[in-house]
Amino acid sequence: MFSLTLPRMRGAVLLPATLVLLTALAACKKDPPPLPDPPKTVKVITVAPVEIAVANQFPGRLAAYRKAEVRARVAGIVTDRLYQEGQEVRAGSALFKIDPAALQATLEMRKAAFRQAQATLDMNADKARRYGALAKADAISRIDYAEALAVEAQAKAQVEEAKAAQRSAALELSYATVRSPIAGRARRALVTEGALVGQDSATPLTTIEQIDPIYVNFSQPAAVVAQMRKAIRAGELQGLAKQDIPVRLTLGDGSLYPTAGKLIFSDLAIDPATETIAMRAVIPNPKHILLPGGYVRVGLEQALNKSAILIPRDALLRTVDSAKVMVVDADNTVRAVAVTADTLHGDRWLVSAGLNGGEKVIVANVAKIEAGAKVTPQEQSGSGAIAKTEAKTETEAAATKVAHVAQIEGR
């Protein structure tokens, strides 16, 4: 019995020992260290100074280039309206008809008075001629002849008075047809047929407005003007002459009006109530898209910044009290650079401090890149260094956005 159970006990002892040995050998083996991750590929642009227009936006109101209030100049009953409300009319076009019967009768009376005065003049002139001949023959006294001449002169004056009264009556009769004083668009009628007008005052009938071109009135803060002048004196900006300043409008729906206008007026005084300077521009309006009284945003390109740094919106990381961009150095190491970028120029940020040009700025997935990381920079397709000629074209589209400072020196 003992000889049969001994091998089993020996096997039972050897099996756990073998397992312990194998476990120890496995623990002695070390895994190879993991391979480092390859550097991330990041999109970058190489920033470069460009020339841009320094622009600013102000709220403005459109106003008619010419506006005439059409009023009744004679008293009477309106018998007809001769235009369609809202239509284009020419200067001198008939708008309303006032009953001319009373005016026609007055004219006939003035004509009769003129003929009567003329007859009296003829009689007195003949008498003066006859008295002149008699006076030469000493047949009448000099006093009688002088009186005859005075009566003739009075008759001449009465003829002139009657002639003027006749012209006045004819003029008033012509006012029975109310005509447009200017060319433009006729607005709604303020009276209807059958209304009595001009009885005690010149009754308003309608309004004619010329809206091609059209004015836009706006105001510029005096502080912005001072800031612009200071920058020009310091050489930071190059001023533009008033006749070279383009004026662009952004309509109420946010769209850009296609045609630029010109600045024609800048007040020389500051409104003490608002601390602003009144300004006016004239805008071509051949299709009558712009209407008087409409609200617009007025964009002025008043100076040039010849060393502006622009970066895409997505390149900027902004916090509550700071802003920064991620820059790739020459050794492909990422570095955070604090910048000042408070102004949008089109779809780009205008960097006023922090970048000098030549830096490679990361423009995509910036928040996922940490400072100190190694990366592989890849120039963004279609960007590279922003060319100056490219920036001038971009400026035209950006002129209506919120921009820098306003007004130029010496205006």
pLDDT tens digits for range 362-385: 888 888 888 888 888 888 875 544
| Four-residue CA torsion sign, 341, 344, 347, 348 | negative
Distance between CA atoms of 166 and 368, rounded to whole angstroms? 93
- CB–CB of 343/308 below 8 Å? no
| CA dist., res. 171 & res. 180, Å (int) | 16
Q: Are 205 and 192 in contact (CB under 8 A)?
A: no
CA pair distance 317, 302, nearest whole angstrom: 30
Q: Using an 8 Å Cβ cutoff, are 275 and 223 in contact?
A: yes
- Tell me what pLDDT residue 36 has: 66
Residue bearing the bigger pLDDT, 278 or 10: 278
Do 250 and 296 contact (CB within 8 A), yes or no?
yes
Note the pLDDT of residue 96: 96
Residue whose C-alpha is closest to residue 191's, from 322, 295, 346, 71: 71
| Residue 223 reports pLDDT greater than 80 | yes
pLDDT at position 74, please? Answer: 93
**CA dist., res. 261 & res. 214, Å (int):** 9
For residue 196, pLDDT over 90 is answered with yes
User: Model pTM?
Assistant: 0.65
* Ramachandran region, residue 198 (left: φ > 0; alpha: ψ -120 to 50; beta: rest): left
Place of tokens 């018998």: 79
Could you give the angle at which helices 101-136 and 142-174 cross, rounded to 10 degrees? 160
Most confident among 101-115, 221-235, 337-351, 375-389 (mean pLDDT): 101-115
- pLDDT-derived band at 84, boundaries 50, 70, 90: very high
Query: According to DSSP H, which parts of 137-246 are helical?
Result: 142-174, 222-233
> For residue range 31-69, what is the model confidence (pLDDT) as tens digits?
666 666 778 888 888 888 887 877 788 999 999 999 999
In this prediction, residue 213 carries a pLDDT of 94
Confidence label for 184 from pLDDT (cuts 50, 70 and 90):
very high
* Residue 354 confidence (pLDDT) above 50: yes
Residue 194 region, left (φ>0) first, then alpha (ψ -120 to 50), else beta? left
Instruction: From residue 49, give the alpha-carbon distance in Å to each of 158, 166, 359, 390.
Output: 85, 77, 11, 12
> Is the link from the previous residue into 213 a cis peptide, with omega within 30 of 0?
yes
Mean pLDDT of 168-184: 94
Q: What is the mean pLDDT of residues 295-316?
A: 85
Coil, strand or helix at 162: helix
Q: What is the pLDDT of residue 40?
A: 82
